[in-house]
Amino acid sequence: MQRKLAILATLAVPTFLADASAQIVKYAVSPAGYEFQTGNSNNTFPLGRVSASYQQIHDAADMGALNSHAAMVISGMHFRPAASYSITARAFDVQVTLSTTSVTSAAMSTTFSANLGTNTTVVLPYTNFNLPAGAGTGGDPNAPLWKFPFTTIYPYNAASGNLVWDWRQKNSTSTTSAFFDFVSNVPTVPITKSVGDGCTATGQTSAATSDLTPSGSNIVASLSNGRASSPAFAAIGLSRAYAPLWCGTLWVNPIIVAAGATDSTGSWTLATFPSSVLNFPSYTEVFLQYAFADAGLAGGVGLSNYAVGASPPNGSTYISRLWNVSTANGSETATTGSKAKNGLVTMFTIL
């Protein structure tokens, strides 16, 4: 059992589980940090109008902080409700174009074409979508509601420039506002959050949980609901593995591994550290997951979910939007619009 835990702890990129990892939807959520928390506002443009021309510029400084600072292949876009707003069902036609651009969010033009770069790609030609009704639960954050898979994937590397997405919408069957998650501020508090699912250890009634718990000016890193009085490992990494394994999911590609043991309640306090260590100079995420010996589980090993600790989200520092919308058709062919230094939380699906 100790040997199995040690092998698990030394895994970096689990290539033997590469096919299984494709079962999990992966996101690069901009602005950076909003995968793990909700925006501070809401907005109905462009999704809640009959027709629209709409753009958002996401600076490379923000996009480069996503996907563990690696290049990405974008395969679609998802949007999630704001707060507990109800959103009515509707259908509309939409075209989506992506481009890298030298235009920054701060210098965004009010002319749509001026914001596009030379590698402009129509990733979704005009397609009719029947979009479901739904409501936010007030969760932090809500799950995505409206999903727009692309017909053409788009490779993106922040080193190539800023990213702009251009949205053309028409023929919506509803004029009812649709309030989606939106950002118009710059937070100053680091992120500490427990994410995903863990295994339920023998003798426990709740799944094993990896926590980063604020305590005054400190943060406590701990495991709860593991197998009582058992050997355990903590894996710390800067990227995620997304690999289903035994009773749970291997979430973390470890670069640091610590050995220890759970107490009689199945808990283990790994460390206490000052929250100031999460004030990185640029947005950075650190992931923490635990594994513990448990002969009663498949494979003899249990896994917690994972905790993320990150610097404060980028907020509206690196995004801007441009819009021309209407409650009738016509805005989908607009050439100019109004702009502001804020934007929708954009959930890019990535391969």
Tokens representing 237 are: 């990494």
Residues 13 and 76 in one domain: no
How far is the C-alpha of 344 from the C-alpha of 328, rounded, in Å?
Answer: 22
Question: Does the pLDDT at position 13 exceed 50?
Answer: no
User: Using an 8 Å Cβ cutoff, are 136 and 84 in contact?
Assistant: yes
Question: Does the pLDDT at position 108 exceed 60?
Answer: yes
83: CB partners within 8 A, 6+ apart: 38, 42, 136, 138, 142, 179
For residue 67, tell me if it sits in a domain. Answer: yes
Residues 166 and 202 in one domain: no
Q: 180 forms bridges with which residues in the sheet?
A: 43, 81
Q: What angle do CA 244, 250, 256 make, to 5 degrees?
A: 165
Q: What is the mean pLDDT of residues 119-131?
A: 98
Residues 323 and 174 in one domain: yes
For residue 26, tell me if it sits in a domain. Answer: no
Q: 340 forms bridges with which residues in the sheet?
A: 321
Residues 230 and 125 in one domain: no
Report CA-CA distances (Å) from 210 to 125, 143, 189: 42, 21, 20
Q: Lowest mean pLDDT: which of 7-11, 103-107, 259-263?
A: 7-11
Residues 141 and 200 in one domain: no
Q: What is the mean pLDDT of residues 287-312?
A: 97
Question: Does the pLDDT at position 5 exceed 80?
Answer: no
Residues 216 and 163 in one domain: no
Predicted confidence at residue 291, as pLDDT, reads 98
Task: Record the pTM.
Answer: 0.92
Predicted confidence at residue 18, as pLDDT, reads 39
CATH of the domain at 12: 2.60.40
Residues 74 and 6 in one domain: no
Backbone φ/ψ region at 31: left (φ over 0), alpha (ψ -120 to 50), beta: beta
For residue 203, tell me if it sits in a domain. Answer: yes
Question: Does the pLDDT at position 148 exceed 50?
Answer: yes
Q: 90 forms bridges with which residues in the sheet?
A: 131
Residues 13 and 92 in one domain: no
Predicted confidence at residue 246, as pLDDT, reads 87
For residue 16, tell me if it sits in a domain. Answer: yes
Residues 148 and 243 in one domain: no
Q: Per the structure, how many domains does the chain have? A: 2
User: Do you know the residue count of the chain?
Assistant: 351
Question: Does the pLDDT at position 14 exceed 70?
Answer: no
Residues 81 and 128 in one domain: yes
pLDDT digits (tens, 9 = 90+) for 174-208: 999 999 999 999 999 999 999 999 999 999 999 99
Q: Domain containing 105: what range?
A: 31-187+314-350
Residues 301 and 318 in one domain: no
Residues 58 and 168 in one domain: yes
For residue 146, tell me if it sits in a domain. Answer: yes
Q: What is the mean pLDDT of residues 248-262?
A: 96
**pLDDT band at 24, cuts 50/70/90?**
confident
Predicted confidence at residue 75, as pLDDT, reads 98
Rounded mean pLDDT of the chain? 94
**pLDDT band at 4, cuts 50/70/90?**
low
Scan for tokens 């650190």, then name that residue. Answer: 286
Question: Does the pLDDT at position 10 exceed 80?
Answer: no
